């Protein structure tokens, strides 16, 4: 039962990496789009593409937090009492980001829009870095079972830095790919080329960070390296192949299946981490079943996860249909 | 300095709480501030959306363009406030872990899951608000109306789920502990705990009162400035009538709740009644504070507290002396609870009086009152209702102290022992002030634009969850409508 819940929890982590990641990445490209005049068209595309779902994506984060504190309370407090600095920064980043995005849309004047835009973009980079470093800290076993680990070195170390940089790069790559496809759908060849160049660049950088990561992990957390290179190897290979295929597609200017490949590349990497970590929740010292809440709680959570899937998927589908539907002409 | 208003309170409590863990004070202040901020947004998610549906229904039923316009504009206001609520709600879930690891680590297995249920409801609410806003021009009118119904239901479900968690902290049940660990959880008993129903009903009704009076006050201000058209009268009536009808029900429910608290949470009731010593023939004290264990100042009405609690002047009420000294709330906490209760009851009766005044004026003239004093009072009723709501939550939350989970976990054992909360609190203050100010400015700019726009309904391009302008419009956001 505790394994089922950990899988459900980890599905949330993957979903957040994909949907939240694309969202953060869009903020990254917003930040680097240049001045108000030059950057207005890419920013507009970013608005069009992520607007409708921007914050639904962050519900995945809440899902992960709630799953963690209900199903594995000791692990949750071990993490929060050790990594309170990056988590606190991430929380503030999310507030700034959400507010910046929501209000940029609602405010009319350009100077105001610029302030909200900067808040949105800067926190879009800070937040994924923090989450990446948190993942690095958990994976490399720097969160003690009893909590209250070192508040600074736990998330400022080679593995955490790798996690943080990789998170930012992955977000940028995902977003650039999605935006390339979105530009194509919006019949904007100019923007398509713009984001294709950036997707290529981000893809290459992500790959390079991943390669460097092999050496970093070998030196800094040999245990994680060992599990990743044995149990997680197949997933990492799939991820690398998807990444390469994605780059080839980007070069050949054919966006077919590009989105799926990028999604798969990222999902398999995150999945590789989960597989390497199993059966431990924290490093190699807290097992999943040791940290689990009593069974009835786990049943309720499973029920909630199933209900979420059953209720939310059709509602999202309805929203998607409406978004793509033209206006009804019979009404004023 | 934005902190100055807080500073006095902080000093008072700092002096009173020597010997507590160093992070207790900033953690409590931060939690109070962020929860107090978030709670203002809840009524709009729950009840403004219902008012919006009422306007929508009237618009379709009576073929009233103006009512439809109200519904559409309220849906946008709801979207802006929902976005702000989503942000502040996310911060709250981080705070549960960062500020109160002792609570989540020990009892997360028991009362964590209602938050998961709340998560689903919130997600559904956000999706259907978006569907509703998109639907104005993309769905047939009645189909569109029905897409608004899940918004109202989901917001009620979400509120009930969060209150399940809160009420569990007041009357914990449904768990078996062994050796300091939860070994068994009975989820239904956790969710539907002793305090669940009355807290939930009380809060739902409060939501309708706050949103109703708030909406009414906006249009009352408009009418005071001479805008007495059908649009303003409708906006005023829908908000005010809902709030005015709910108000007496709430006062009855509040009375029932107080008796429940008298039976099930005697420590809180002793603080509410400012009662140091157990006894019969307890007077109702209005105003007043507790200093060195003695009641000072305030107006005492003989026997009334006993009469209200048990319908007999000889009803025995347990005082603060019935609480073991080690877990007895200090004088300042008791005074805060008591005064907050007085403010809640006082503002509630003021709002009831306003509702009766309206009924009288309506009965005589059958029209939205023109009486300027009535309109002035109505114009501040929204703020008064918020004060009432906030003081009610102060009674619940401060009244539970020194416990976080009554009888099971002291607040000082729940708080984090790591790091320093002050910088986090300071950052939260700054950001919340910025978010709050932005939200107000944006609502004002929306209202200004609507006044300039006149009677036409637009697409909702300008709010979160709403559609976006097509990409071909390169001059995005520069005046006018698409």
- What DSSP line would sit under B155-202, residue for residue? HHHHHHHHHHHHHHHHS--SEEEETTEEEEE-HHHHHT-TTHHHHHHH
Across B72-77, average pLDDT: 90
The residues that bridge with B409 in the sheet, in sequence order, are: B405
Across B108-133, average pLDDT: 88
- Provide the Cα torsion B46, B47, B51, B53; round to 10°: 20
Across A117-134, average pLDDT: 86
Of B124, B185, B439, Cβ closest to residue A311: B124
Indicate which of A8, A96, A106, A324 best probes the interface with B, i.e. most B CBs within 10 Å of its own CB.
A106
Residue B480 has pLDDT above 60, yes or no: no
Distance CA B90, CA B41 (A): 13
Beta-carbon separation of B138 and A58 below 8 A: no
Q: Which residues of B touch A326 (CB under 8 A)?
A: 138
Total domains in the fold of chain A: 1
Residue B313 has pLDDT above 70, yes or no: yes
Of B115, B424, B439, Cβ closest to residue A66: B115
pLDDT of residue B259: 92
For chains A and B, what is the number of CB pairs under 8 angstroms?
255
Average pLDDT over chain B reads 86
Please tell me which residue of chain A has the smallest CA distance to B475: A40
In a domain, A203, yes or no: yes
Q: Which residues of B touch A296 (CB under 8 A)?
A: 184-187
Give B5's pLDDT tier (boundaries 50, 70, 90): very low
Q: Which residues of A touch B428 (CB under 8 A)?
A: 92
Q: Which residues of B touch A106 (CB under 8 A)?
A: 80, 442, 445-446, 462-464
Across B113-131, average pLDDT: 88
Q: Which two tokens stand for residue B23?
A: 């992070």
In a domain, A176, yes or no: yes
Q: Which residues of A touch B116 (CB under 8 A)?
A: 63, 66-67, 70, 300-301, 304-305
Of A66, A105, A296, Cβ closest to residue B186: A296
Does A92 contact B at CB distance below 8 Å? yes
Q: Which residues of A touch B131 (CB under 8 A)?
A: 315, 318-319, 322
Helix (H) or strand (E) holding B292: none
Beta-carbon separation of A81 and B441 below 8 A: no
Helix (H, G, I), strand (E, B) or coil at B404: strand
Of A76, A99, A325, Cβ closest to residue B435: A99
The residues, any chain, with a CB within 8 Å of residue A279's CB and separated by 6 or more, are A3, A287, A288, A289
Beta-carbon separation of A91 and B90 below 8 A: yes
Shortest CA distance to A130 belongs to which of A74, A97, A102, A92? A92
Distance from CA of A313 to the nearest CA of B (A): 10
Residue B87 has pLDDT above 60, yes or no: yes
Shortest CA distance to B387 belongs to which of B351, B415, B441, B438? B351
Distance CA A206, CA A212 (A): 10
Q: Which domain holds residue A286?
A: 2-294
Give B346's pLDDT tier (boundaries 50, 70, 90): very high
Q: Which residues of A touch B455 (CB under 8 A)?
A: none
Give B242's pLDDT tier (boundaries 50, 70, 90): very high
Across B98-102, average pLDDT: 90
Distance CA A166, CA A129 (A): 8
Indicate which of A16, A36, A62 best probes the interface with B, i.e. most B CBs within 10 Å of its own CB.
A62
Please tell me which residue of chain A has the smallest CA distance to B76: A106
Distance CA A121, CA B7 (A): 34
Beta-carbon separation of B438 and A148 below 8 A: no
Beta-carbon separation of A80 and B98 below 8 A: yes
Q: Residue B281: how many CB atoms within 10 A of its CB?
A: 16
Does A325 contact B at CB distance below 8 Å? yes
Burial of A151 (0-12, 13-18, 19+ CB in 10 A): middle
Q: Which residues of A touch B442 (CB under 8 A)?
A: 103, 106-107
B150-164 pLDDT, tens digit each: 999 999 999 999 999
Distance from CA of B369 to the nearest CA of A (A): 33
In a domain, A70, yes or no: yes
pLDDT of residue B391: 95
In a domain, A189, yes or no: yes
Of A56, A65, A297, Cβ closest to residue B126: A56
Shortest CA distance to B123 belongs to which of A165, A184, A310, A150? A310
Residue B278 has pLDDT above 70, yes or no: yes
Does A155 contact B at CB distance below 8 Å? no
Beta-carbon separation of A79 and B88 below 8 A: no
Shortest CA distance to A276 belongs to which of A314, A226, A323? A226
CB B231 within 8 A of CB B70: yes
Beta-carbon separation of B116 and A63 below 8 A: yes
Distance from CA of B309 to the nearest CA of A (A): 37
Average pLDDT over chain A reads 83
Distance from CA of B288 to the nearest CA of A (A): 40
The residues, any chain, with a CB within 8 Å of residue A65's CB and separated by 6 or more, are A76, B93, B94, B97
A253-275 pLDDT, tens digit each: 666 788 888 888 888 888 888 88
Beta-carbon separation of B97 and A76 below 8 A: yes
B296-306 pLDDT, tens digit each: 888 888 888 89
Of B108, B464, B467, Cβ closest to residue A102: B464
Q: Which residues of B touch A47 (CB under 8 A)?
A: 468, 476
Residue B4 has pLDDT above 50, yes or no: no
Please tell me which residue of chain B has the smallest CA distance to A113: B477
In a domain, A287, yes or no: yes
The string of DSSP letters for B223-287 reads: HHTT--SHHHHHHHHHHHHHHHHHHHHHHHHHHHHHHHHHHH-HHHHHHHTT-SS-BSSPPEEES
B185-223 pLDDT, tens digit each: 899 999 998 889 999 999 999 999 999 999 999 999 999
A195-208 pLDDT, tens digit each: 888 888 998 999 89
In a domain, A302, yes or no: no
Whole-Å CA distances, B290 to A201, B309, B323, B339, B392 = 68, 21, 16, 10, 19
A210-260 pLDDT, tens digit each: 888 888 888 888 888 888 888 888 888 888 888 888 888 877 766 678 888
CA angle, A66 as apex, A60 and A71 as ends, to 5°? Answer: 125
Please tell me which residue of chain A has the smallest CA distance to B428: A92
Distance from CA of A211 to the nearest CA of B (A): 33
Shortest CA distance to A33 belongs to which of A253, A198, A188, A185? A198
Q: Which residues of A touch B112 (CB under 8 A)?
A: 66, 69-71, 73, 293, 297
CB A266 within 8 A of CB A176: no
In a domain, A175, yes or no: yes
The residues, any chain, with a CB within 8 Å of residue A264's CB and separated by 6 or more, are A238, A239, A242
Whole-Å CA distances, B141 to A55, A330, B8, B137, B219 = 27, 10, 54, 9, 26
Q: What is the CATH number of the domain that holds A107?
A: 1.20.1630.10
The residues that bridge with B290 in the sheet, in sequence order, are: B295
Q: Which two tokens stand for residue A171?
A: 């977000």
The residues that bridge with B181 in the sheet, in sequence order, are: B178
In a domain, A319, yes or no: no
pTM, entire model:
0.87
Q: Which residues of B touch A82 (CB under 8 A)?
A: 418
pLDDT of residue B456: 65
């Amino acid at each position: 039962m505790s394994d089922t819940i950990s899988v459900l929890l980890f599905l949330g982590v993957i979903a957040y990496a994909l949907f939240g990641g694309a969202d953060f990445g869009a903020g990254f490209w917003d930040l680097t789009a240049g001045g108000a005049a030059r950057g207005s068209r890419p920013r507009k595309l970013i608005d069009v593409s992520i607007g409708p779902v921007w914050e639904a994506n962050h519900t995945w984060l809440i899902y992960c937090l709630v799953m963690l504190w209900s199903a594995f309370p000791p692990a949750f407090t071990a993490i929060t009492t050790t990594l309170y600095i990056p988590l606190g920064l991430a929380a503030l980043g999310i507030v700034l980001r959400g507010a910046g995005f929501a209000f940029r849309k609602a405010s009319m004047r350009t100077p105001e829009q610029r302030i909200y835009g900067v808040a949105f973009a800067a926190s879009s980079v800070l937040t994924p870095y923090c989450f990446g470093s948190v993942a690095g800290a958990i994976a490399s076993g720097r969160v003690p079972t009893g909590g209250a680990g070192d508040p600074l070195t736990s998330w400022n170390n080679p593995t955490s830095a790798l996690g943080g940089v990789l998170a930012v790069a992955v977000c940028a790559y995902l977003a650039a790919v999605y935006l390339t496809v979105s530009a194509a759908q919006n019949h904007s060849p100019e923007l398509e080329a713009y984001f294709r160049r950036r997707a290529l660049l981000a893809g290459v950088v992500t790959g390079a960070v991943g390669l460097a990561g092999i050496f970093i992990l070998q030196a800094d957390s040999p245990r994680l390296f060992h599990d990743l290179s044995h149990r997680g190897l197949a997933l990492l290979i799939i991820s690398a192949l998807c990444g390469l295929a994605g780059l080839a597609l980007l070069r050949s200017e054919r966006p077919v299946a590009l989105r799926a490949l990028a999604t798969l590349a990222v999902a398999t990497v995150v999945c590789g981490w989960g597989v390497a970590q199993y059966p431990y929740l924290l490093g190699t010292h807290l097992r999943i079943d040791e940290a689990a809440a009593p069974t009835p709680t786990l049943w309720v959570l499973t029920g909630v996860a199933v209900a979420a899937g059953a209720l939310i998927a059709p509602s999202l589908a309805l929203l998607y249909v409406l978004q793509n539907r033209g206006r009804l002409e019979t009404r004023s | 300095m934005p902190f100055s208003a807080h500073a006095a309170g902080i000093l008072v409590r700092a002096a009173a709480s020597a010997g507590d863990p160093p992070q207790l004070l900033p953690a409590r202040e931060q939690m109070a501030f962020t929860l107090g901020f978030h709670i203002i947004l809840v009524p709009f998610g729950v009840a403004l959306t219902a008012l919006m549906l009422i306007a929508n229904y009237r618009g379709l039923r009576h073929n009233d363009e103006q009512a439809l316009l109200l519904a559409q504009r309220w849906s946008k206001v709801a979207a802006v406030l929902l976005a702000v609520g989503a942000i502040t709600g996310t911060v709250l879930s981080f705070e549960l872990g960062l500020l109160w690891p002792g609570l989540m680590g020990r009892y997360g297995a028991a009362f964590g899951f209602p938050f998961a249920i709340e998560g689903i409801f919130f997600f559904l609410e956000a999706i259907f608000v978006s569907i509703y806003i998109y639907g104005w021009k993309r769905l047939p009118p009645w189909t569109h109306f029905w897409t608004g119904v899940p918004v109202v239901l989901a917001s009620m479900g979400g509120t009930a789920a969060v209150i399940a968690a809160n009420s569990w902290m007041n009357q914990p049940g449904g768990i078996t502990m062994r050796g300091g660990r939860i070994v068994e959880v009975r989820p239904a008993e956790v969710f539907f705990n002793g305090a669940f129903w009355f807290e939930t009903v009380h809060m739902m009704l409060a939501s309708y009162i706050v949103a109703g009076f708030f909406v009414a006050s906006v249009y009352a201000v408009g009418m005071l400035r001479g805008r007495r058209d059908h649009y303003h009268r409708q906006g005023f009536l829908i908000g005010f009538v809902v709030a005015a009808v709910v108000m007496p029900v709430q006062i009855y429910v509040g009375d029932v709740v107080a008796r429940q608290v008298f039976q099930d949470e005697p420590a809180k009731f002793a603080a509410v009644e400012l009662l140091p010593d157990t006894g019969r023939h307890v007077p109702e004290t209005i105003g007043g504070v507790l200093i060195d264990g003695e009641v000072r100042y305030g107006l005492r009405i003989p026997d009334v507290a006993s009469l209200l609690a048990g319908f007999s002047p000889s009803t025995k009420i347990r005082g603060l002396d019935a609480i073991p000294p080690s877990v007895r709330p200090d004088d300042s906490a008791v005074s805060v609870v008591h005064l907050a209760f007085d403010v809640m009851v006082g503002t509630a009766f003021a709002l009831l009086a306003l509702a009766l005044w309206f009924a009288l004026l309506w009965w005589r003239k059958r029209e939205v009152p023109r009486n300027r004093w009535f309109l002035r009072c109505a114009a501040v009723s929204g703020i008064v209702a918020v004060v009432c709501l906030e003081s009610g939550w102060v009674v619940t939350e401060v009244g539970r102290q020194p416990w976080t989970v009554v009888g099971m976990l002291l607040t000082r054992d729940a708080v984090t022992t790591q790091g320093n909360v002050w910088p986090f609190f300071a950052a939260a203050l700054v950001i919340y002030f910025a978010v709050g100010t932005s939200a107000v400015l944006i609502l004002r700019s929306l209202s200004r634009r609507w006044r300039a726009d006149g009677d036409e309904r637009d697409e909702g391009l300008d709010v979160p969850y709403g559609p976006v302008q097509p990409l071909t419009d390169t001059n995005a956001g520069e005046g006018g409508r698409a």
